[in-house]
Structure 1
Amino acid sequence: MPVDPRVLDALDAIHAGRRSGASLEDETLDFKTEKGNDKETAQDLAEAAVCFANASGGTIVLGVRDRATGPDAFAGATIGRDLLRSKVHELTEPAMVVDVQELTAHGSRLLAVTVPAGLDVYATRKGLVLRRWNDQCFPLSPTGVSRLDDERRGTDWSAGGSGRPVQDADPDALHRVRQLLRQTGDETRARLASAPDQDLVTALRLTVDGDELTRAGEILLCRNAGVTASDVLVYQYRPTPGGEATASRRWGTPLVTAFAEALEAITARSEITPVNTGRGQVIQIADFPLVAVREAVANALLHGDHRERRPVHVEHSPSALQVRSPGPLVTGITPANILTAGSKARFPSLAGSFRQLGLAEELGQGVDRMYREMVRSGRQTPDVAVNGGGGDPETTVTLRGGPPNARIARFVSELPDAEQNDTDALLILLLLCEKRSVTARDVAPVVQRDLTATEDVLRRLVNGPAELLEATAGTRARRHPNYRLRGHALSVLGAAVKYHRRNPDDTDGKVVDHVREYESINNATIQRIFDVDVYQARNILQDLVGREILTRTSSQSRGRAVKYGRGAKFPEKTRRR
């Protein structure tokens, strides 16, 4: 098995003194040095291998000091390749098979130990169960071991019996289920909405042996479910992120009711910003796109670990919506691959029922749409993080609100339909509003694809109907050229492109010339001269008034009729002798 090229790049960066091993370590890469003897070294590597196997796999490089840089970081390794491989096999339970490659890097003999993601829960012979968490290893709690074991064996906790009969289902919850089925637009599900309670619940696969509700059925349909926390969802609204909560609600089961009412509470406190497009249409942009909110809350309720008996928390303010759920992401999914790893349900029975009711997207679609809708509304992508590796882990999804970037929203709304609905294209557009040019290597971690697939996406955006990008003249012949936004895109995006800064002297000069010729200027004229929106035009005028270059000359103080003329420090032309 060849050594991962990423490992070789990391070794080059360490030798060049640009990075230390510690700064390069992450959830799939670790650097180690040998211990006092081969036995201790093998034990240390066995623990690290268990740590990776219980997560997503990874590579351990033996022979590199993680705190040093330059040639001094390369301590080298003397232990035999076959001895290390056999010792890891001997010191782990179940016995683990790892690949050990010998390589010479910058004059030092190193060993690269590649650990695959396990099919079981692994431990050391001493009974230590570890799991990789970012760049560290933590012992798994009994709940964590149980959770990982269920995921590895494909056991669905939510499909087990709850001990409660179908008759315990809440009538209001059943009524809401029937409404949702009718709203799906699917004839089969619409007919199911008219079926008797027993047939309805059975068809949704929420029963065991016909008359006992599954745990998923109890959580979805019953009040006071005994298998979850008394509160499954807690919501708070704050006018400012650090202020006192002005609204607070708690919901127990049934989950179908809690989910619907939480969405209503969020949307009731969302502001709408109208944005005019170049086609004469008006698009309505909410603080937080409903599609993104639905996905964030649905993911938390479906994939949060109800066995931990902790609620999902939703913290809402005009500037941010944060959703915290108990438990980490499902094994194999990380913030770095969440867009492309595909959806893996922690509780397939519970997730399947949600999809049947139209409350969650099909597998592999929901998170993608959450990212896409945030960019389409002129906002940053969601921030996904997993916290608490050594204690009670939780997953956090944060959506950023506040005033939208109207230029990005307007530009996206005028793209061809294929690009409007292409998450890769929108993420690349957002990146190029921050950076003047990018290569496939820059873009790959953003779209979460390999270099070849990323290059294909970039070339499509060059040659596709949108003609969004172009390769720079000096790099077109390269395998991975530098790409930048085309001129028409830069013109339309204007101030949304951060490296396009207006020269203050140029701004002053154009405004002064206009006032000299026409004696006055207003907001609409500023918009036309500088190709900015109404708010940016307001800021330009306020700056000029503050410096007394302009002064308000109309009796009106607000609205389109406000005019500005020469101020006390308006520059007059100097006469030539």
Structure 2
Amino acid sequence: MADEVEQALRRVRSGTTARKLETSTLDFKQASGKLKDTLVNLSEAAVCFANATGGTLVLGVADDIAGPAGIVGTSMDPDTVRHGIYERTTPSLDVVVTRLTFEGVDLLRVDVPEGIEVVSTSTGRYCWRRGTDCPPMTAEDVGRLREERRGEDWSSRSSRVAAGVADPSALVRVRELLQAVPTDGATALRASDDRELLSGLGLLTARGRLSNAGVVLLGRREASAQPEIVYQHRKAASGEADTILHLHGPLLVAMQRLLEAIELRLTATPLNLTGGQQLQVQDFPMAAVREAVMNAVAHGDHRTGRPIQVEHSPDWLTITSPGPLVAGVTPENILRHPHRARFRSLFGALRHLGLVEQVGLGVDRMYREMLRVGRNPPRITEDRDQVSVTFVSDQPNMRVARYVNQLGPERRDDLDVLLILAVLRRRRSVAASAVASVIQRSLDDTQALLRRLAEGEAAVLEPTQGTAHRRQPNYRLRGPVLAELGSAVAYHRAPSDERDRKIVEHVQEYGSINNRTVQNLFDVDVHRGSAILRELVERGVVIRTSEQTRGNAVRYSPGPEFPVSARRRRER
């Protein structure tokens, strides 16, 4: 965090207001006129961080003043601040306060650890850090966080429901899943009777009752019960739903029906790779969708009684689970935060069934499946009531898919590499400070990664000439990488005038052109080829002249706005 604080202070000095630089783990404060007011303000901010993932307060920086004048400094004593926060929090927070001098101005840095217990101010106010805000916590928020921090597991508690209430269809599904798990233990469980099966999965209590996890995954449901999952499909993103499924019954069975409903409505785009390989790219990669569904099942707060909601259209697919992210996990650190299960017993049963991994690689896989074919990663959002994962059905990019496919397995599967490539497809160069938040690593780790990707024969990056001498240079894609990615790079596309010239010359010589020819001329995929031809038709440069209306073979000939000189040369 030391580099992040120093980097932020430099940006304040250079003209950015401190408020714009605050993050979920960094906050700037200015001393009030009265010592007591300052300590109350700092104590509330410390409580806010302690009930989230911890963070750093910097005292002596104005929120809304840019430039050197924004670094106002402070004369407060570190021990006064440390004791003031200790006395004004319950249980008392022991923060680390150090003096920090920036360009001759004295500041205080307050490092707040993540709380072991839920923390409040001495006046009983509970709050937590959400993005850059510090909203109050509800009684439900406090109770949930207290259970998670004490290691209490609701899913392992007795539901007081007899083991015989397990749904037969769910038990059949359990045995189907165990058949695909290649361990002796799974084979033995599959062959055991129902009671031994439930016990082996950790879904029975010592008194032979189903645990809450057992009821969630396998328990029978009344016909009038709330559905476990609600699925809506629309043929257009803003249209009426043409399919609404209320999936009742055990969650394990409802989940399988959901995945079948989604996969039934997916379409695939063929991408031709090097070496004659062909890749079928779905609207939404099913591997990524499956991981998002499993995350909703494994980490959703099933105590709320609210269903998992899925909205599906050709343009986007959103999976929303009840409850916030597990304590300590945020959208800004979800790729790097150590795996933490909300309900250990429930998660353990899913792991035995081969549906989740102990190390929690699901989010990484969601990102990787989208980035490998040139799409944007999923968007993860959270509020206190729910978590949503949204996939956007961007067109797959053939150039990116080809390039990633020919990388060695280490880099092809390296999420950091894929994220950096995605950034540099949009920006000519980046420094570690611009990439760190994207890959969710520290500045030092990000700088080391960029340096590693610029070394050796297989280097994909290089420092820009004007910044190579800096401690944190700007990096750009190397020439050979740019050449391979071609039109997949936003700033590397052929100018429209040059593109028009090539198309006009082809039509002059051959009388017409089709999509397949456009793809070959500019090395673009079928969708980009269609867009180029559609633009030329709208401008009147060409018109469709074949009876065929769809496909690569549709032919286009000179239109009313086709260059006159070119038309005359062709007529001669």
1:372 aligned residue (359, 362, 368): 368
Equivalence map 1:537-556=2 (5 Å): 537-551=529-543
Deviations 1:237-294 (A, max 9, x none): 1222222111112234411112111111111111111111122222111111111111
TM-score normalised per structure 1: 0.91
**Equivalents in 1 of 2:492, 2:544: separation in Å?**
29
**Residues 428 and 75 from structure 1, CA distance in 2 versus in 1: closer, same or farther, beyond 3 angstroms?**
closer
Contact (CA 8 Å) 2:398, 2:524: kept in 1 or not? no
Q: Distance in 1 between matches of 2:176 and 2:182?
A: 11
For 1:187-336, list aligned pairs within 5 A.
187-209=184-206, 211-224=208-221, 230-336=226-332
Q: Does 1:411 align with 2:403?
A: yes
1:135 alignment partner, SS class: coil
Counting only pairs closer than 5 Å after superposition, residues 332-343 of structure 1 correspond to structure 2 as: 332-343=328-339
What is the CA–CA distance in structure 1 between the aligned matches of 2:440 and 2:106, rounded to whole Å?
A: 32
Aligned partner letter, 1:379: R
Q: Which residue of 1 aligns with 2:345?
A: 349
Partner of 2:131: 134
Contact 1:183 1:190 in 2 (8 A): no
Which stretch of structure 1 is more off in the superposition, 298-307 or 534-543?
Answer: 534-543
In structure 2, relative to structure 1, the CA distance for the partners of 1:69 and 1:555 (3 Å cut) is closer
Alpha-carbon offset, residue 539 of structure 1: 3.3
Indicate which of 547, 550, 565 corresponds to 1:572. Answer: 565
Structure 1: gaps spanning 5 or more residues? none
Between 1:399-408 and 1:562-571, the stretch displaced more is 562-571
Q: Does 1:158 align with 2:163?
A: no
The AA in structure 2 aligned to 1:235 is Y
Mean Cα deviation higher: 378-387 or 462-471: 462-471
What are structure 2's unaligned runs of at least 5 residues?
Answer: none
Q: CA deviation at 1:317?
A: 1.1
Aligned residue for 1:499, secondary structure, equals helix
Secondary structure of 1:52 counterpart = helix
Q: In the alignment, which of 6, 9, 14 is matched to residue 8 of structure 1?
A: 6
- Output the CA distance in 2 between the equivalents of 1:555 and 1:86: 83
Residues 36-51 of structure 1: pairs in structure 2 closer than 5 A: 36-51=33-48
The residue identity in structure 1 corresponding to 2:565 is E
AA in 2 matched with 1:153: R
Moved more, 94-103 or 176-185: 94-103
Matches of 1:567 and 1:234 in 2, distance apart? 51
Contact 1:548-1:570 at 8 Å conserved across structures: no
Q: Indicate if the aligned counterparts of 1:419 and 1:466 stay in contact, CA closer than 8 A.
A: no
Given the two structures, how large is their TM-score scaled by the length of structure 2?
Answer: 0.92
SS at match of 2:565: coil
**Equivalent residue number for residue 19 of structure 1:** 16
Distance 1:163 1:59, change over 3 A: same
Native 8 Å contact 2:17 2:63 kept in 1: yes
* Structure 1 residue 460: Cα displacement: 4.3
Q: Is the CA contact 1:297–1:323 (under 8 Å) kept in the aligned structure 2?
A: yes
Contact 1:129 1:139 in 2 (8 A): yes
Output the amino acid matched with 2:443.
L
The question of 1:438 aligning with 2:430 is answered: yes
Q: Which amino acid aligns with 1:206?
A: L
Change (3 A) 1:81 1:456: closer
In the alignment, which residue of structure 2 is the partner of 1:31? 28
- Structure-2 separation of matches of 1:526 and 1:404: 18
- In 1, the alpha carbon distance for the partners of 2:501 and 2:414 equals 42
Residue type matched to 2:526 in 1?
V
Q: Which residue of 1 aligns with 2:498?
A: 506
How many Å apart are 1:71 and its aligned residue? 4.0
Quick check: 1:324–1:394 contact (8 Å CA) kept in 2? yes
Matched, 1:487 2:479: yes
| Contact 1:92–1:122 (Cα < 8 Å) also in 2 | yes
What is the identity, as a one-letter code, of the residue corresponding to 2:563?
F
Query: Residue 90 of structure 1 corresponds to which residue in structure 2?
Result: 87
In the TM superposition, what is the alpha-carbon distance from 1:361 to its structure 2 partner? 3.0
Q: Secondary structure at the match of 1:150?
A: helix
Letter in 2 for 1:426: L
Q: Which amino acid aligns with 2:79?
A: D
TM-fit CA distance, 1:110: 2.6
Size of the alignment, in residue pairs?
566
The answer (yes or no) to whether the contact 2:302–2:322 under 8 Å persists in 1 is yes
Distance 1:554 1:126, change over 3 A: closer
